[in-house]
């Protein structure tokens, strides 16, 4: 497509924005197209990261529930610690009536970020609240 005598493309084919874009040096065009590709990739990567985090959270929750159930069924003193290497977050489930695992929480009290400590009583209370909500 060539420009007419006034130096502009016919308005029926392109708008002024396209004309300005076509007049940019090739390296600027490449930068803009690369930026568009990166924006698309970043959205794709962001959604993948979100899916991975959701799966991680579901697996952590499932592991904690199974541990709680094991402690109830077999009357076992159970302690599960999960440390996420990427963030340094520590999640602990301590389901022991005897206090056998009590030293663990005192050792991690100075850890940053502060560990999330759950007991079997916390899970039981959450379970009761969930059942109550479902009955309403």
| 48-56, Cβ contacts within 8 angstroms, sequence gap of 24 or more | 56/84
Residue-by-residue pLDDT tens, the chain, 136 positions: 454 555 544 444 444 444 444 555 556 656 666 666 666 767 778 888 889 989 999 999 999 999 999 999 999 999 999 998 888 999 999 888 888 888 887 888 888 888 988 888 888 888 788 777 788 7
Q: Take residue 39 and report the two structure tokens written for it.
A: 């924006």
Domain ranges, ordered by start, for the chain: 45-135
Q: For position 73, what pLDDT does the model report?
A: 94
Q: For position 58, what pLDDT does the model report?
A: 94
Q: For position 82, what pLDDT does the model report?
A: 92
Q: For position 57, what pLDDT does the model report?
A: 92
Q: For position 70, what pLDDT does the model report?
A: 93
């Amino acid at each position: 497509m060539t420009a007419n005598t006034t130096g502009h493309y016919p308005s029926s084919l392109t708008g002024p924005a396209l004309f300005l874009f076509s007049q940019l040096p090739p390296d600027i065009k490449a930068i803009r197209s690369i930026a568009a590709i990166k924006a698309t990739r970043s959205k794709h990567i962001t959604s993948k990261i979100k899916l991975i985090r959701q799966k991680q959270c579901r697996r952590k929750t499932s592991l904690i529930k199974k541990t709680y159930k094991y402690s109830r069924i077999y009357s076992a003193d159970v302690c599960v610690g999960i440390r996420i290497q990427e963030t340094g977050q520590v999640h602990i489930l301590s389901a022991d009536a005897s206090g056998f695992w009590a030293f663990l929480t005192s050792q991690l009290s100075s850890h940053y970020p502060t560990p999330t400590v759950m007991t079997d009583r916390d899970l039981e209370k959450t379970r009761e609240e969930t059942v109550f909500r479902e009955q309403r």
